[in-house]
Amino acid sequence: MTPPHKRSGGKGGASKPRRTGKTKPSQPTRPPKRSPEEHVDVHVPDGIRLQKLLAAAGVGSRRKCEQLIADARVEVDGHLVTELGVRVSPTAVVHVDGERVQTDPERVYLAFNKPVGVVTTMSDDLGRPNIGDYVARRRERLFHVGRLDVDTEGLLLLTNDGELAHRLQHPAYGIRKTYVAQVDGPIPRDLGKRLKEGVELEDGLVTVDSFRLVDALPGKAIVEIVLHEGRKHIVRRLLEAVGHPVRALARTQVGPVRLGDTKPGKFRPLTSREITSLYAEAGL
């Protein structure tokens, strides 16, 4: 199924999920922010100049990055840096205005449009088409973030950033996922309300963050669902439970990353803004 992106709306109806009763797993504690007067030496003699690192990461021009440093808006490994010319490690953790910037050139972040019929594994003993077939020529050892069943197409994130991938998959962070489904119709007016209030499945209650009717056709409909659940076949089971079995299903968004115009079987690198937004979603 080709997702009707142009009819999906600008914001996809997603709102930040409530996390009542959830406790986040322990997170690495960032060092306390220090004032410029409390000098901490982050200088690495054989490192890269901080303004060059920021510019290469897409923060802005070299001059703009120098101004950000001078304005005390840049942290390196949790410490403010205001001195121009400081050299830092390429793998240093850098934040600008509190948002983490991806600066490690070895890190890879891809948006992949998984086709129907492809299993969500990097290899397959049965010889079935799998994700590894599409990235076999890449030198990095990539792995997928989450899963899509073989009959579902759409957005999968591929990366070699293990910490980010772990957090994006952890249920405590409630990362939103948007799906577009073709289902049996017609759709009753109160279905969205019912899904938001919760539907009891065999493995517990499921609630959605938003529900929207995209299009109504004779005997069928196209709907959009946003939820932060990660249970197996959750969208298919949920819609079947309310009397609207799924005919075709595609995931169009994960957190802030949209599938967009990426064709099935193709991938694209994430933008620096998308990576920064994923870091924020994962609390990094």
The residues that are catalytic are: 149
Could you tell me if 153 and 265 are in contact, meaning their C-beta atoms sit under 8 angstroms apart? no
Token couple for 145: 């973030």
- Could you tell me where the DSSP H helices lie in the chain? 50-56, 62-70, 131-134, 162-169, 191-197, 234-241, 272-281
Could you tell me if 145 and 92 are in contact, meaning their C-beta atoms sit under 8 angstroms apart? no
Residue type, 146: G
Token couple for 65: 């990055």
Q: What is the 3-state secondary structure (H, E, C) of 197-255?
A: HCEEECCEEECCCEEEEEEEECCEEEEEEEECCCCCCHHHHHHHHCCCCEEEEEEEEEC
